[in-house]
Structure 1
Amino acid sequence: MFFMARPQLYWYLHNCFSDEKKQMVANIEKQLEEARELLEQMELEVREIPPQSRGMYSNRMRSYKQEMGKLEADFKRSRIAYSDEVRNELLGDDGNSSENQLIKLREERAHLLDNTERLERSSRRLEAGYQIAVETEQIGQEMLENLSHDREKIQRARERLRETDANLGKSSRILTGMLRRIIQNRILVVILAVFIILTTAAAIFFSVQGR
């Protein structure tokens, strides 16, 4: 196999690796696109997180973006290097052996597979981070709703307290008026009793004097 003519070698290597390479490249490009969309969704979710908790997730987003940029750059370099090296080795000078060409092609294939695995791991980390961001947003939303409900309860309790104070003030005024009227009535009764006693005493006195 390693001593076949160059056109035959090119045809053999092309058929061995071209389809697999295209499949790997398409798979990596698909995962990169999904990762980019996931990052965009995470950015939108992070913007909705309350400011006091947003800093931690913003730092994570920067880390994810940096890692994503490194993966894209590495993948781009691998594609360029793979394509250039295959073309140069298959169409270049006769000094390189067919066996070395095949070994290098296999090395490039292994490198692409390694990039695919790295991208899959990064995608899983991105998905985990996105899930955490979503859960944090849900928790924050629930906390805000609970705080809103608690505030409404406090406001209602305050209104009831004000109404109670107003009722107590009204009741106090009513009781004060009732006590005042009771005292006035008692004074009137005492005055009336004294008047009756004095009148009776005067009548008795004048009756005795008339005899």
Structure 2
Amino acid sequence: MLQQKLVDLKSEMKLEQLELEYRGAGAGSRVAAYRAELQRVRDEYRSVLSNSATYNIETEDTYDDWNVNEQRQKLLDNTERLERSGKNLNEGYRVILETEEIGAAVLQDLSVQRETIQRSRGRLRETDEQLNRSSRLMNSMIVRALQDRFALVMVLLITGALLCAALYFYVT
């Protein structure tokens, strides 16, 4: 029972540390999920203790009836189960830490990609503005060219008309 309280205290302290670390990073929901998982494991542990016959865990009253070898064997079995459970918890904790590292790396990559996309978007806007300005310049150049052509045609027509008039008056 004392060992259970120590495990509860340690896991509570670890969760509080995680919560403090991630409070600034906005990962409060993740810590809440860890807290819920810890509560689920505690409840399961308590149910195991309450169903001691199922898991071959005996109370102190029945120890008096056993001989030493049976007690030793039961103790070894229970110790083995505890060690397996401890290994499973350690493995779970290791997986959580690996997941946390992978998540941090993914967030870093996403941050870099976001900056790249924002820079590309800015360049695209600048290019679009340059294209609009170039389009307006080309349109104004085309209008001027058409005006110059129209003026040239008018000058040629007037010159031709004057030449025809001069030729008509010269001949008559």
User: TM-score range, shorter-chain basis?
Assistant: 0.5 to 0.7
Aligned residue pairs: how many? 159
Aligned ranges for residues 80-95 of structure 1 at < 5 Å?
Answer: 81=60
C-alpha distance in structure 1 between counterparts of 2:90 and 2:9, whole Å: 11
Change (3 A) 1:129 1:39: farther
Change (3 A) 1:188 1:180: same
Identity in percent: 34
Equivalent of 2:163, from 200, 205, 210? 200
What is the aligned partner in structure 2 of residue 11 from structure 1? Answer: none
Aligned ranges for residues 58-207 of structure 1 at < 5 Å?
Answer: 58-66=35-43, 81=60, 104=67, 107-207=70-170
| Aligned residue type for 1:37 | K
Segments of structure 1 that go 5 or more residues without pairing to the other structure are: 1-27, 90-99
Aligned ranges for residues 9-28 of structure 1 at < 5 Å?
Answer: none
Find the residue that maps to 2:140 and give its secondary structure. helix
What is the aligned partner in structure 2 of residue 14 from structure 1? Answer: none
Structure of higher RCO (CA pairs closer than 8 Å, 6+ residues apart): 1
C-alpha distance in structure 2 between counterparts of 1:105 and 1:186, whole Å: 119
- Measured after TM superposition, the shift of residue 111 of structure 1 is 4.5
Aligned-pair RMSD on alpha carbons? 4.1
- Measured after TM superposition, the shift of residue 52 of structure 1 is 7.4
Segments of structure 2 that go 5 or more residues without pairing to the other structure are: none
Q: Which has the larger radius of gyration?
A: 1
Specify which structure has the higher proportion of helix.
1
- Measured after TM superposition, the shift of residue 174 of structure 1 is 0.5
